A and B are shown apart, each in its own frame.
Chain A
């Protein structure tokens, strides 16, 4: 079945760039998502990319996709303390009619001043 993996923890200093990595196993046509979860809050969609794209940029966020290696990354430029949260990678695939999101375990990002 589908599997999504992420590293559990990342610590950076304010102003640095953060790179959060994710690998997935489903090889069918896929949408890949990045969600952010702040303490006590629900999940907020940050961005998504379809598997025929290599890169997507949205303000401080850059998503890179290596489809051959099934590797996805989220780069946050000029990281701020307000970016501290848990970041989830997720995928939905043609196998499930794009109707089910499979999430990674989340990467806790800690930004120190």
Chain B
């Protein structure tokens, strides 16, 4: 597609349930990033993929969070046993190579609300 696509755009889930967030990067972009935007916390890096491997997952807040990328394209961020503090907007971005100064294009995000 023309841009980074994320689905769903909004998700409301009950505390304790698992959720999956999907990101379709721009075709041909090898680098893919997940960020979380919370009120009062700014934008927080979660994980970075180069191709299908994740050389940096230092931002994942706990072992309830995991992500995978298949075929060098679509990525899924999974949150198990969701907690209220997981409520945030989850943003995905992709870039051509992940090298210095390369522009990262962001999707519109998935707003997750845990009730």
- By a beta-carbon cutoff of 8 Å, the part of chain A in contact with chain B is 31, 35, 40-45, 48, 50, 88, 90, 92, 96, 98-106
Contact = CB atoms under 8 A, between A and B. Distances in A.
Nearest to B9: A40
A41 B48 CA distance: 21
Contacts of A106: 42-43
Interface of B: 4, 31, 33, 35, 40-45, 48, 50, 55-56, 59, 91, 93, 98-101, 103-109
Given A42-B91, A43-B106, A103-B42, A92 B100 contact: yes
Contact of A99 (B35, B44, B98, B106): B98
Contact of B101 (A31, A35, A40, A44): A31
B93 to A, nearest CB: 8
A40 B108 contact: yes
A25 B72 CA distance: 34
A96 B59 CA distance: 12
A101 B42 CA distance: 12
B100 to A, nearest CB: 4
A37 to B, nearest CB: 9
A50 B101 contact: yes
A18 to B, nearest CB: 20
Given A99-B31, A100-B45, A43 B100 contact: no
B107 A99 contact: no
Contact of B106 (A42, A50, A92, A96): A42
